[in-house]
Structure 1
Amino acid sequence: MTKLSLREKVGYALGDVASNFYWRIFDLFLLIFYTDVFGLPAAAVGTMMLVARIIDALTDPLMGGLADRTRSRFGKFRPYLLWGIVPLVFAGVLTFTTPDLDVDGKLLWAYATYVFMMLSYTFINVPYGALIGVMTSDSHDRTVLTSFRFIGAFTGGSIVAYLTPELVALLGQGDEVRGWQMTMALYGLVAALLFLITFLSVRERVSPISREQASLWVDIKDLGRNKPWLVLFSLALVIMITITLRASTGTFYLKYYVDRPDLIGAFSMTYMLALMMGAAITPLLTKFMGKKQLMLILMCAVTILSAAFYFIPRDQVLLMFVMQALIGICLGPKSPLVFSMYADTADYSEWHTGRRATAMVFAAAAFSQKLGGALAAALIGWLLGALGYAANQVQTSTSEAGIVMLMTIIPAVFAGLSVLLVRIYPLDEQSVETINLDLASQRAVIGKE
């Protein structure tokens, strides 16, 4: 069993640094960009983001099926790191371009460019995520690799969180519309270089035990019979709603409730650094307890801390930063744990059915992530619209209370739901080891034939 080198782990991690020049923008700034810069009503933005992400999410399994069936001298998944660069860069710039149109025209532009953006992201990110399942078959090595990946993700997220407001001001020179467009052009060039480095750094090693290629419909049916994957899909969906609610509402919370918009960059960066710290210590934590047990403890902590955030007075800024950091540390291991567990469910599916569809497993995982983010964004937009939110104005007590609830109690409810889902996840460390040993022996037999 090949152990991954430090060079390969770092090279792979740079791909998620690149991805987060886009994903973290969606989480932290896209909603407030559409309302406060683009000039769209909050409720319309909520609906648009839900519809666009559902359209995109439905294409994830198709992308997974396409990647699983790709044959090239570079492998199944690596080529997409090159093929997807140009569409992603152009889509990012167009999404943050503000044309001189009426509200209906702007909304149509937002639908078209955001769908294009998410489809471009899917085209490169689904194969990138699937690489975890074919770079190594060792469960612990996968956890380490996903920790590197999400250290990269949160590093990219920290850069985006802190620098974006500064870059928009610097590159726009007083023109916020142009500032956003130029910032995304710069991020696109950096992301393109990082994806190229990832392509050159990684290798695909794990081959399926069966060379017979099933149909796309059979792959989807296999997922429907994969109980560990179904539980994990639901868990990732709920946790993503929790994360997106807190991340997207944080900008509104600081701008309108705390009345400190100057702290948005520092607050967001603190959260990203805390997430990165949590991801970094994940391999150490998994040496002392299993992935399921660790996830259970962490999500209990997130539930309690998110609810406690509600009681912080608006003038206790330092306490807000401390609590945000604690929540980030607890949520940081979630990503490496869940994606390592997804790789385990791909092994379970192959062991159970004799067929392997790695990209399909990770594509459907991406579906869960995106759907969770879409539902959270829609909930924010709809609730703010219903409570009378008005962009760039002093908020009413009703809309202000809604912002606070979206930042605290509502995420706590979803975090509590995730605890219940973790409890019914069926794969523990012993069962994963048994599956891996059995698959390894089958591959050894095939190798001798």
Structure 2
Amino acid sequence: MASTDQHSNTTTPTEKPLSLWTRIGYGVGDIFGGGSGVIISFYYLIFLTDVVRISPSLAGTVILISKIYDSITDPFEGILCDRTRTFLGRRRPYLLIGIPLIFLSFFALFYPYSMESESARFTAVVLSYLFFSTVVSIVMLNYNALHSEITLDYHERSRLSSIRIFFSTVASILAALLPLEIVEAFADVRTGYIVMAAGFGLFFALPFIATVMAVRERPEFQKPPRPFNWREAFLTPFQNRTFVYTLAMYLFAFVAIDTVSTIVAYFIKYYLQRSGEVSFVNGTLLIAQVISLPFYVRLSRKLGKVRGYIIGLILWAVTMLFSWLIGPQSARGWVYVFAAFVGLGTGGIVVMIYAIFPDIPDVDELGSGQRREAIYSALVTFIRKLSSALAIFAVSQVLEWAGYIPPIQESLNGGMRLIEQPQSPTFLLALRLIFMLLPLVLLALALVFALRFPLTPALHQRLNALLARQRAGLPVDEGEKQVLVKTLLG
């Protein structure tokens, strides 16, 4: 790494700081990405098994079908968006179209279908999830792509990431605390879910009005696209070493997050026997995430984004070891202390990985000479949904295998209530093992890639300087370019 220090003083083009309006306008868009993901991770599986009343294995299959569909459609959506040229730019038209679709798709996702046949309910749920998944892909891949285009500055991207994660986490707190409170405010649980779905659908859709108004795309990235090439579109991203390492860090860490998010409601309700505290424990975790954001942004300026990620990862892994010591007889406060430390650890992982992703298209431009933010965003969006699907599917299969007993539906004062049933010792043991061991294994794998991550702040500074000359049609130092290609692309 001697060459890194040797060129660390290379001048980079001056990048004007973003206005507060641009930062906030962009940041509020992740209310949808963060909030909807939390509701699905925390409550969707239990909604399908307890309210729609399909078996855990079928509920997990719903998510798996959606991800097979995404594996086909997401890359094509990314290609389409990168090749779009309009007076609004490449990204904002899709965000504008997405506003009504976000509301409709989220409402359909949590609509409590009540057909007599389980197969009919299963079919309705699959179609609803495919609709929602398509909308998430179109909206979020363009939203994520904007992060790389708004600013080229390494540290400004970290600040922008912290603002979007702030709004994402605030939305996540509301998404953790309010859904069950809304549902339980109604005598009929189905009516409660309908109201909850409509309210959150609007909450997720409307902020994109501000995003479309506040953000402007870079005119130098609007050049006519090259002729389409299948190999370039689908294979070359995986020849980018920096992207592959980032993807591995993202995939392993977020599967761990999704595993815990999916099973925590079962863990609190059936093992800790504290049904009424699910929302408050989740809220504590997410509030701790918000509190951690300024700390990790400052840390990344001193140590770099990847070291901030590693610190968050280690803190979370150590905290998970203590989950085995928490039981039904533990003092109530310990559960909230545990949740807070999980939030402090996962906060570092989330904010740093979303600060790293905008740097990937810069590395790609070094080799391809193109700006392909949406292709990378499509892959990231797909991996995010795939990670969630794998976690939910795996958890659902284990719950079924371990003998999960769903609650009984009971009519009361004209409404329908759920009466929880005692679970077997086998089920409770499986619950505890998944909750602790699976995240630890996944975090260990993420750490391996993080320790070998090639893009340092100094290397990004050199990369930005070279790309600025390349875009302007000026001669570049070919020796420097080859060093960067070998280090970052492999």
TM over 0.5: yes
One of 415, 430, 449 as aligned partner of 2:443: 415
1:17 corresponds in structure 2 to: 31
1:76 corresponds in structure 2 to: 90
With normalisation by structure 2, the TM-score equals 0.87
- 1:311 corresponds to which letter in structure 2? L
- 1:406 corresponds to which letter in structure 2? I
User: Does 1:377 pair with 2:398?
Assistant: no
Q: In the aligned structure 2, how far is the partner of 1:192 from the partner of 1:245?
A: 27
Residue 388 of structure 1 deviates from its aligned partner by 0.6
1:246 corresponds in structure 2 to: 260
Task: Verify the 8 A CA contact 2:49 2:406 in the aligned structure 1.
Answer: yes
Q: In the aligned structure 2, how far is the partner of 1:272 from the partner of 1:425?
A: 28
Residue 278 of structure 1 deviates from its aligned partner by 2.5
Residue 219 of structure 1 deviates from its aligned partner by 2.5
User: Does 1:406 pair with 2:406?
Assistant: no
1:305 corresponds in structure 2 to: 319
Deviates most, 204-213 or 411-420: 204-213
Give structure 1 stretches of 5+ with no counterpart: none
Q: In the aligned structure 2, how far is the partner of 1:339 from the partner of 1:258?
A: 33
One of 455, 471, 478 as aligned partner of 1:427: 455
Q: In the aligned structure 2, how far is the partner of 1:107 from the partner of 1:209?
A: 43
CA distance change for structure 1 residues 205 and 271 in 2, over 3 Å: closer, same or farther? same
Q: In the aligned structure 1, how far is the partner of 2:289 from the partner of 2:77?
A: 28
Q: In the aligned structure 2, how far is the partner of 1:115 from the partner of 1:328?
A: 30
Residue 214 of structure 1 deviates from its aligned partner by 4.5
Q: In the aligned structure 2, how far is the partner of 1:295 from the partner of 1:157?
A: 20
- 2:133 corresponds to which letter in structure 1? M
2:271 corresponds in structure 1 to: 257
1:351 corresponds in structure 2 to: 366
Residue 406 of structure 1 deviates from its aligned partner by 2.1
Deviation digits for residues 368-394 of structure 1 (CA, Å, limit 9, x no counterpart)? 111111111011001111111111211
State the secondary structure of the residue aligned to 1:4.
coil
Deviation digits for residues 96-127 of structure 1 (CA, Å, limit 9, x no counterpart)? 11223211111111111111111111111110
CA distance change for structure 1 residues 88 and 58 in 2, over 3 Å: closer, same or farther? same
CA distance change for structure 1 residues 57 and 178 in 2, over 3 Å: closer, same or farther? farther
Task: Verify the 8 A CA contact 2:405 2:423 in the aligned structure 1.
Answer: yes
Q: In the aligned structure 2, how far is the partner of 1:51 from the partner of 1:356?
A: 31
1:354-365 matches, within 5 Å, as 354-365=369-380
Of structures 1 and 2, the larger Rg is shown by 2
Residue 57 of structure 1 deviates from its aligned partner by 4.2
Q: In the aligned structure 2, how far is the partner of 1:106 from the partner of 1:213?
A: 45
Residue 307 of structure 1 deviates from its aligned partner by 2.1
Give structure 2 stretches of 5+ with no counterpart: 1-14, 408-420, 475-490
Deviation digits for residues 134-155 of structure 1 (CA, Å, limit 9, x no counterpart)? 1011111111101111111000
User: Does 1:117 pair with 2:96?
Assistant: no
Residue 331 of structure 1 deviates from its aligned partner by 1.1
With normalisation by structure 1, the TM-score equals 0.95
Task: Verify the 8 A CA contact 1:77 1:131 in the aligned structure 2.
Answer: yes
2:466 corresponds in structure 1 to: 438
State the secondary structure of the residue aligned to 1:84.
helix
Deviation digits for residues 205-250 of structure 1 (CA, Å, limit 9, x no counterpart)? 2634975424252122220211110111122111111001111111
- 2:383 corresponds to which letter in structure 1? S
Q: In the aligned structure 2, how far is the partner of 1:59 from the partner of 1:405?
A: 35
Residue 263 of structure 1 deviates from its aligned partner by 0.4
Q: In the aligned structure 2, how far is the partner of 1:77 from the partner of 1:165?
A: 34
Q: In the aligned structure 1, how far is the partner of 2:180 from the partner of 2:246?
A: 35
RMSD: 1.7
State the secondary structure of the residue aligned to 1:259.
coil
- 2:290 corresponds to which letter in structure 1? M
Q: In the aligned structure 1, how far is the partner of 2:285 from the partner of 2:68?
A: 27
Q: In the aligned structure 1, how far is the partner of 2:272 from the partner of 2:389?
A: 26
Q: In the aligned structure 1, how far is the partner of 2:123 from the partner of 2:132?
A: 14
One of 117, 120, 123 as aligned partner of 1:108: 123
1:32 corresponds in structure 2 to: 46
One of 202, 205, 215 as aligned partner of 1:192: 205
CA distance change for structure 1 residues 196 and 216 in 2, over 3 Å: closer, same or farther? farther
State the secondary structure of the residue aligned to 1:422.
helix
One of 282, 299, 307 as aligned partner of 1:285: 299
**Matched-pair identity in %:** 26
1:155 corresponds in structure 2 to: 170
Deviates most, 69-78 or 299-308: 299-308
Task: Verify the 8 A CA contact 2:60 2:393 in the aligned structure 1.
Answer: yes
State the secondary structure of the residue aligned to 2:303.
coil
